[in-house]
């Protein structure tokens, strides 16, 4: 049993152990994670594995149900079918255009639910939000970047895709040899920066939310030997409840924003200027 509760930051950084809530507040039951194939598991790895399993547990039965064309009954099927159709009709098709967007739905659906489940797992005591780590969001953004590049090259050809990064310019021809390479570097940097921002946006929102929750929890820990413990604890608990509800909304919002921006970048790639 270990007590790391005195450091609010401890709750939002990765570690090689899981801390489960324990009745002897403020101490938690600490479980050391094992090595698998020479790799020491971390709590972010565990939550990513759990999120991946949840994605499969949701997508496979819902996809089979929709493929059979059955009328959806019950909250489970209706909820996830509504989310799937929302991503298709309100995100993918408007951003990418027409039924060509349907080719990218498997990726967009997967990234939406993976980000969503990781966000939600961060609200469960003992778990963590892997999307609050820049390494995780960076890899997700790299997947989107790879999809954007491959989709653009498949749509218009490798050469034309890279040439189309530079827009048409009505300038004298003698200036083009000097201006075109400069604009190409700028546009290439812009393409990379957009995806860096995509990663930072998700990371910053999730990390900041959990920092605020951890700091409010820290108020209780700091006041546990004070005569004002009960007023501070009561106010902190009310604040935690309110902010947790806000974090629940943010979990869905950030999953939507990441998916929407990914669809926008893909749409810009397959329909170059």
Q: Which domain holds residue 246?
A: 8-270
This prediction has a pTM of 0.85
In a domain, residue 23? The reply is yes
Q: What is the pLDDT of residue 10?
A: 57
In a domain, residue 60? The reply is yes
Longest dimension (CA), the chain: 80
Cα 198 from Cα 192, distance rounded (Å): 10
Q: Are 55 and 117 in contact (CB under 8 A)?
A: yes
Q: What is the band of 231 on the pLDDT scale with cuts at 50, 70, 90?
A: confident
pLDDT higher for 12 or 6? 12
Q: What is the band of 2 on the pLDDT scale with cuts at 50, 70, 90?
A: very low
Least confident segment among 13-22, 151-160, 172-181 = 13-22
Q: What is the pLDDT of residue 93?
A: 92
Q: Are 151 and 266 in contact (CB under 8 A)?
A: yes
Q: What is the pLDDT of residue 195?
A: 94
Q: Are 17 and 33 in contact (CB under 8 A)?
A: yes
For residues 101-128, give the mean pLDDT: 89
Cα 82 from Cα 43, distance rounded (Å): 31
| Nearest 10 degrees: Cα torsion 81, 142, 102, 187 | 140
In a domain, residue 2? The reply is no
Intra-chain end-to-end CA distance of the chain, in Å = 60
Q: Are 262 and 111 in contact (CB under 8 A)?
A: yes
Q: What is the pLDDT of residue 209?
A: 81
In a domain, residue 140? The reply is yes
In a domain, residue 3? The reply is no
Element spanning 173, H or E = none
Number of compact structural domains in the chain:
1
Instruction: State percent of the chain over pLDDT 90.
Output: 34
In a domain, residue 18? The reply is yes
Cα 232 from Cα 230, distance rounded (Å): 5
CA nearest to 255, candidates 150, 151, 166, 129: 129
Q: What is the pLDDT of residue 188?
A: 92
């Amino acid at each position: 049993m270990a007590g790391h509760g005195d450091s609010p930051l401890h709750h939002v950084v990765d570690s090689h152990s899981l801390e489960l809530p324990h009745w002897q507040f403020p101490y938690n039951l600490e479980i050391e994670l094992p090595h698998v194939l020479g790799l020491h598991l971390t709590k972010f790895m565990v939550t990513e594995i759990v999120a991946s399993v949840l994605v499969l547990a949701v997508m496979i039965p819902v996809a089979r149900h929709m493929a059979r064309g059955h009328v959806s009954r019950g909250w489970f099927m209706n909820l996830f079918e509504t989310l799937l159709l929302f991503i298709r009709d309100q995100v993918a098709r408007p951003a990418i255009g027409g039924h060509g967007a349907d080719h990218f739905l498997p990726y967009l659906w997967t990234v939406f639910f993976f980000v969503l489940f990781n966000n939600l797992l961060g609200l469960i005591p003992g778990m963590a939000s892997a999307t609050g780590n820049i390494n995780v969001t960076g890899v997700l953004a790299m997947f989107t970047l790879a999809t954007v590049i491959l989709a653009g090259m498949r749509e218009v050809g490798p050469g034309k895709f890279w040439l189309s990064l530079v827009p048409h310019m009505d300038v004298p021809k003698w200036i083009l040899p000097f201006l075109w390479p400069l604009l190409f570097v700028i546009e290439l940097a812009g393409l990379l920066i957009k995806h860096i921002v995509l990663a930072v946006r998700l990371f910053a929102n999730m990390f900041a939310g959990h920092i605020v929750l951890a700091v409010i929890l820290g108020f209780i820990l700091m006041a546990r030997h004070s005569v004002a413990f009960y007023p501070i604890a009561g106010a902190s608990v009310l604040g935690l409840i309110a902010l947790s509800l806000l974090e629940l909304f943010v979990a869905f919002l950030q999953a939507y924003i990441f998916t929407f921006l990914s669809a926008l970048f893909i749409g810009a790639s397959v329909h170059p200027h």
